[in-house]
Structure 1
Amino acid sequence: MSDQTAPFRADVVGSLLRPTAIKNAREKSDHDLRRIEDAAIKHAVEEQCQCGLKVVTDGEFRRAWWHFDFFEGLEGVEGIDAEQGIQFSGVQTKSRNVRVTGKLGFGAHPMLEDFKYLASISGGAMPKMTIPSPSVLHFRGGRNVVSRDAYPHIDDFFDDLARVYKEAVQAFYDAGCRYLQLDDTVWAYLCSDEQRAQVVARGEDPDALARTYARVINQALENKPEDLVIGMHVCRGNFRSTWISEGGYEPVAERLFGSVNIDAFFLEYDSDRAGDFAPLRFIKPGHQKVVLGLVTTKTGELEDPETIKARIREAARYVPLEQLCLSTQCGFASTEEGNAISEAEQQAKLQLVVDIARDVWGE
C-alpha cells in the first residue's frame, strides 16, 4: 500500500465537533446556514491538512445525525419522532428514527452536492465521504420499520436496499468520490450479548441477520469501480462520549472479515470493550486493510505514543504491518451534540495519529 492511497497510514473516521457558528445558525433557522456551513467546512479541511493528514472529511457538519440525515434523503424513507431515544451507557439521544414507507430509491440525493463542495476545497488531500451502511436502515427496528404494503416479502426489501446502495456508490463515484466509507454499528451490536438478546426478543435470528447484511453489502459493491476504495467503520456507539455495545469481534469476525468485500475496516480498539486482536486473523491477506482505532475520541487526554506503538506491534502478530493503519476509534461528533472534548483536544488527537503513524511507517 502506497502512503498516497486510501486508506492512509494516518486516517480520519469522519465527524468533527460542530462549530458554535453552525449550532447558532441551526437554532435560529438562519437562511445563511449553507454559507456558514461552507465556511466552517473549509476551516475544518485546513485544520486537518495542518495536522499532516492526507485525507479530509467535511466533519459531517451539515448533519444532525451520522445516519438519519442520509436515510431521510432516500426515496421511500421518512424520518419520524420515536417514542424514545437510543439508549447509550447512562444517557439517551433525542427521540428520532426512520421508517420505510414506500419503494426504495436513491434519486437526486442532497449529499452528492455536499461531497462536491468538499472535493472543491480539499486541495491536495483526498476527500472522503461517509454514509451509513445499508444494514443500519433495518437493524434497530427490524421488520417493524419496513412497510408491509411496500414490501410484503422482506427479501424484496433487502434486494432493493442492495440496489439502492449500488446506485449510491456509482453516484458518488460519478461525482468524483474515490474514497467512500460505510459507517456500521450493526456488526458491533452483533458482538454484544445484550444486543443479540434484544434481536431474539423481537423474533429474529441475529446470525441470520448477519448473513443477510453480508449479502446486501456484497451485492451493493458488485462491479464497483477498481479505483474506488470502500471502507467500513465498525462502531460501538458514540454519543456524548458514551457507548452502546461491548464484546470482542470474534462472533462476527469470520463472516465480516472473511466474506464481506470491504477494502478497509476501521475498528474501534480504544478500550477493553473491544476485546483482543485475535479476530484479525480472518482479515484477507494482501489487499484488505485494517485501520486501528487506538486513539479515543471520548476523552481529551492524550494517549502515550509508545503504548499505541506497542499495540500496533501486537496487532501485527495477526495482520502484517503493511496492512495496518491508524486512526481515532470513532469520529468526534456522531451527532450534532458532540463528545465531551474541546476543539483544541480534537486537533491534538488528530496530530497524535499523524505523528505516531509517521514514526511507525515513515512518510
Structure 2
Amino acid sequence: MAPPPPFRAEHIGSLKRPRQLIDARNLADKGELSQSELTALEDAEILRIVQLQQKYGFTAITDGEFRRYGFYDGFFDRLEGMVNVQNADPEIFMDYVPDVKAFKIKDFKGGQTYICTSKIRRTQPLYVPSFQALAKMVPPEEVKNLKLTTAAPEWYHLRHSAKYAYSKDVYQNDTEYFADIAKAYQEEIDALYEVGCRNIQIDDPLLAFFCSDLMLQGLREAGTDPDELFDSYIQLINDCIAKRNPDMSIGVHLCRGNFRGGIHFSEGSYDAIAVKLFNELNVDFYYLEFDTPRAGGFEPLQALPKHKQVVLGLISTKVPKLEDKQEVIARIHEAAKHMDDPKLTRIAISPQCGFASHIDGNPVSEEDMENKLKLVSEIATEVFGTTVW
C-alpha cells in the first residue's frame, strides 16, 4: 500500500493533449460535435494517459486536465455569482500582475474573464464529476492516490483587484468576498472526500508572483501593501482547507507562468516569501519550480519546517531537450544540504510545471513529454530507490 502523497516521482498535473482532442473540443465549441461525442473521446484519451503514468510508476495519477481549457477551469466558472465576461475592458486587468503586463505589452485589447456580480454559492458539484470519471479507470485501492488539481482561490482577485473582482452591492470588502469563496472550497473538498479523493494540489502561480520586484513595486504604486495582500491570500487558502479531514493531503504548486509556448511571466527567488509560505500556509507539501535561474537557488528551503516535504521541479516542460540525469541528481543533493536533509527524507522530484497548463500546450511533443516523465521516474528510482517512499 502506497503511503500518503507526495510521492518520490511526481508531475504537476496537466499533460500534452493530443491533436485530435484539441480539434474535437474546437468542433464542440462550434456545435459541430455533440457533448457526448466529446466526452467519449476525452474518456478514451484519459484512459490512455492513465496507462502511460502507470507504465512509468507514477502513483499520483491525474486525468492530464484533458477536460479543461486551462489549469484554472472547473471552479469559478461553475460557481453561482461568478459571471463570464467576454472581451472585458482591459482596464479591469491590473497592470502589475506579471502575465497581464506581458499581454498588454503585446497590445492586449481585453479578454475573457469572470467577475462576481451576486453572492457566491456552490450550487453544483465542481471538480467531483471529473474525479469520479478518473476513479473508474484505476483499481479501487488506488483511488486515494489520484491527484486532483484545483485553481487558486485568489485567482480573479489579484487579476482584477478589489475594485473590479466583485460588485460592491454584493460584498463590501475582501473579507466578505473571501469568506464565501472559502465556504465554496470547503464544501467542494468535503464532496471530493466523500467520493474518495485524498490528494489535492492547489495550483497557485500568483503566490510566486510576490517574488517579483516589478509586481511588488506595481502594487505599492497602486496603493496596495504587498505584505498585507500576501498575508490575506495565505489566510484565504488556510480558510479554504481549514475543515479538511485529517487524511486529506494538500500541496500547493508555485511557478512563474507557463503559457502557450512555455512562456513565463515573472522572475525572482523564493527568498521574499519563503518564511511565510513554508510556516504560515497550512499545506502539507510544496511543488516548487527550480528548472531555471529565474526561480533562484535552493537557499530558501532552509525555512521549510521539518514536518513538511518539497517536490523539486527540476525537469523543464518548456523545452524538448532532455535534462542530464547526473546534473539533476547533483541538484537534488544540493537542495538537501540547504534543508539539512542528507538522507533525502523530505524530497521528491517532478517537472517544474505542467506540459499543457493551457489547452495548446508547450512546444514539446508527446514523445518529449513521455521521455521527461520516464526521466523523472528513473531519477526517483536511482536516488531514492523507489517512486513512492
Q: Is contact 1:75–1:104 with CA below 8 Å preserved after alignment?
A: yes
Matches within 5 A, 1:130-145: 130-143=149-162, 144-145=164-165
Counterpart CA distance in 1 for 2:81 and 2:284 is: 29
Matches within 5 A, 1:1-363: 4-29=3-28, 30-31=33-34, 32-81=37-86, 82-83=88-89, 86-88=100-102, 95-123=111-139, 125=142, 126-143=145-162, 144-239=164-259, 240-286=261-307, 288-319=308-339, 320=341, 321-363=344-386
Counterpart CA distance in 1 for 2:57 and 2:102 is: 33
Cα deviation for residue 234 of structure 1 reads 0.6
AA aligned opposite 1:42: L
Cα deviation for residue 83 of structure 1 reads 4.1
Q: Is contact 1:68–1:98 with CA below 8 Å preserved after alignment?
A: no
Counterpart CA distance in 2 for 1:172 and 1:293 is: 27
Counterpart CA distance in 1 for 2:302 and 2:188 is: 31
Cα deviation for residue 23 of structure 1 reads 1.1
Q: Is contact 2:22–2:360 with CA below 8 Å preserved after alignment?
A: no
How many residues align structurally?
361
Q: Is contact 1:74–1:106 with CA below 8 Å preserved after alignment?
A: yes
Deviations 1:312-331 (A, max 9, x none): 10110122221110000000
AA aligned opposite 1:349: K
Equivalent position of 2:95 in the other structure: none
Deviations 1:66-88 (A, max 9, x none): 11442101221122223458454
* TM-score, normalised by the number of residues in structure 1: 0.94
Cα deviation for residue 137 of structure 1 reads 3.0
Counterpart CA distance in 1 for 2:107 and 2:134 is: 31
Unaligned runs of 5+ in 2: 91-98
Deviates most, 141-150 or 321-330? 141-150
Cα deviation for residue 96 of structure 1 reads 2.2
Cα deviation for residue 178 of structure 1 reads 0.6
Q: Is contact 1:44–1:58 with CA below 8 Å preserved after alignment?
A: yes
Counterpart CA distance in 1 for 2:100 and 2:50 is: 31
Q: Is contact 1:86–1:95 with CA below 8 Å preserved after alignment?
A: no
Deviations 1:228-249 (A, max 9, x none): 1101001210012110110000
Deviations 1:214-270 (A, max 9, x none): 111112222311111101001210012110110000111111111101111000000
Q: Is contact 1:298–1:340 with CA below 8 Å preserved after alignment?
A: yes
| Distance change >3 Å, CA 305–CA 3, structure 1 → 2 | farther
Unaligned runs of 5+ in 1: none
| Distance change >3 Å, CA 60–CA 91, structure 1 → 2 | farther
Counterpart CA distance in 1 for 2:195 and 2:156 is: 24
| Distance change >3 Å, CA 307–CA 92, structure 1 → 2 | farther
AA aligned opposite 2:58: L
What is the root-mean-square deviation of aligned Cα atoms in Å? 1.9
Deviations 1:139-185 (A, max 9, x none): 11111121111102221112222222222221211121010110001
Q: Is contact 1:17–1:338 with CA below 8 Å preserved after alignment?
A: yes
Q: Is contact 2:316–2:353 with CA below 8 Å preserved after alignment?
A: yes
Cα deviation for residue 27 of structure 1 reads 1.6
Cα deviation for residue 91 of structure 1 reads 6.7
Deviations 1:262-291 (A, max 9, x none): 1110000000000011111111112x1100
The SS at the match of 1:98 is strand
Counterpart CA distance in 1 for 2:346 and 2:106 is: 36
* TM-score, normalised by the number of residues in structure 2: 0.88
AA aligned opposite 1:291: V
Counterpart CA distance in 1 for 2:161 and 2:6 is: 32
Q: Is contact 1:264–1:290 with CA below 8 Å preserved after alignment?
A: yes
